[in-house]
Amino acid sequence: MKPEQITETARRLRTAESGVRILRTLSWSPEVRREFFARDARELPRVTYPVMNAAPIHAQLAEIRRGIEGDGTVARWLRRCADAIGSSADMLASAGTPAFLEYGKRLYGTPTSQQGDATALALAQTVERVCDSVAGLDLGAPSAACHFATAVAQGLRRACVRLFGDQAPEVVVVDQLSANALAGPRRIQVRRDACFTDRDLNQLIQHEAYVHVCTSLNGRAQAKLPILAASHAGTTRTQEGLAVFAEFITGTQDPDRLRRLADRVLAIDMALRGADFLEVYRFFLGRGIPREQAFENARRVFRGGVVEGGVPFTKDVVYLDGFLRVTNMLRAIVAGGRADCLSLLFCGKLDLEDFPALAELSEIGLCAPPTYLPPWAADRRFLVSYLAYSQFLDGVRVDEHRSHYRELLGRTDTAPWGGETVPTDIPTRGAVIDG
C-alpha cells in the first residue's frame, strides 16, 4: 500500500471506531444501585441496555477493508484493527444476551487464556495465597488514612503539568464515575466520594497519567496514523498491562492494589462458572469491602452480561493478563538487545502484536516517535537491570533452592518482631511469570 493509502485507511478506521463506545454503552444507571439496596440487596439488579445496530459499523468496515491491499505486515495490522472494531460493535449489539460473552472473550480473553505457561487466573490465585499469608504481618505501611478526592486531584494536576506541560489534561472531581478515577487525553476524572490511601495517588499518576494519558497524547500526535489515538478494544490488554507494569516497576503497587486486580479475575471466573450477581456481590463483601464498593465491583463483572450468571464482561481479566504479556515482551526486548523497541510501546494506543507493523511504518516516516515518555521508560537504567536479572532467573531451578531454604527456615525460630510465618505451598510454575 502507498503511504497515502495507509494514512487514509487509518483515518477511516478512527472514524469507524468513534461510533463504538463500549463502557458508555454498558454503563448502569445510578437508579439500578438505588433499587438494589432498596430491596436490601436480596434480589438481582434489573438492568436494560440501549439497542445498538451494528450493521452501519460493519458497512463502514467493509468499505475500509476493500481499500486494504495485499497481505503484508501493515495490511494485516489494519485488518486486525477493523476486526476489533467490528467485534466490539457486535458485542454491544448483543448486550444482555448469552452471545455477549463470545465477543468479549474474543476481545479480552478469559481468566484461563494462556500467556506461555501462565494464566491470569493462576496469577490471581497466587496473589490471593500470598496476600492471605502476610495478612498478619506488619509490612511497614503507615496508619490507615482516607485522602480526599480534591487532594488527589491536586496531586494529579501537578504530575501532569510536570510531564505534559501545556498539553496536560484537565483534572476534575465528579460525582458519578464507574471507577475511582478515569483518564482521557483531555480530562482525568476523580470520583468525589472515593477514598484513597497513601499509595493511591502515586498509582494513579503512573497508571492513569503516565501511561493512559501519555499514550493518548502520543497517539493524537500521529497525524499520519490517526487510529493510534483510538482506545479500541484491540488495544485494551496491552494498554492496561502496560499501566499495571508501570505501577510495579516504579514501586507504587502494594498488596491491596494487587489483591483488587486479582479479585476481579477471581470474580469473573466465578461468574463464568455460573455464579450470579448476588454471589459475586457477597464474594466482595466477604473481602471486607463496604457494600457500595462491593456493588460497584460486582457491576464491573456483569455490565453487558447476564446477571443470572454464566455471561460476565471479561474485560477486567486484561489487567493481570496484560501485565504478564507486557512483562514478558519487555524481558524479550532486553534479552534480544532490542532496546530500540521500548519507545514503540508509547507511540499511541496499540497492541503488542502491532510492533512489526509500527516498526515498518516508522521506517517510511508514517509513525512518529513518542512525544512523551514516563520517567521509568525515559531513564531505562533500572528497567534494564531488573529485566536482565528476571531473564537470568529463567534458567534457575527454583525448586531445588526452595527445598534448601525451606529446610533452613524450618530450623529457624520465629523472630519476635516478625509477625506470622508464610505458608510454603505457594506454586511457582504457571502462576506468575517464570522467574
Segment 39-46 shows an average pLDDT of 97
**Tens of pLDDT along 46-94?**
999 999 999 999 999 999 999 999 999 999 999 999 999 999 999 999 9
The CB-side HSE value for 193 (13 A sphere, CA atoms) comes to: 8
Q: Which residues make Cβ contacts (< 8 Å) with residue 89, sequence separation at least 6?
A: 19, 20, 52, 54, 57, 58
pTM for the complete prediction?
0.90
The domain ranges of the chain are 3-145+197-393
Mean pLDDT for the stretch of residues 402-414: 79
pLDDT, tens only, 323-348: 999 999 999 988 888 888 888 999 99
**What grid cell was written down for 95?**
448486550
Question: Closest by alpha carbon to 33, among 426, 229, 300?
Answer: 300
* Structure-model confidence comparison of residues 397 and 379, the more confident one: 379
Nearest one of 131, 192, 183 to 160, comparing CA atoms: 183
Percent of the chain with pLDDT over 70: 92
Predicted confidence at residue 41, as pLDDT, reads 97
* Number of neighbours of residue 284 by Cβ within 10 angstroms: 22
| pLDDT > 90? residue 43 | yes
Distances (CA, A) of 382 to 162, 255, 378: 21, 22, 11
User: What pLDDT is attached to residue 140?
Assistant: 67
Q: What is the pLDDT of residues 175-223, one digit of tens each?
A: 888 778 888 889 999 988 887 887 888 999 999 999 999 999 999 999 9
Q: Compute the CA torsion angle 71, 74, 77, 79 (nearest 10 deg).
A: -50
pLDDT of residue 424: 43
* pLDDT tens per residue across span 95-130: 999 999 999 999 999 999 987 778 999 999 999 999
Q: Strand pairing partners for 306? A: 311
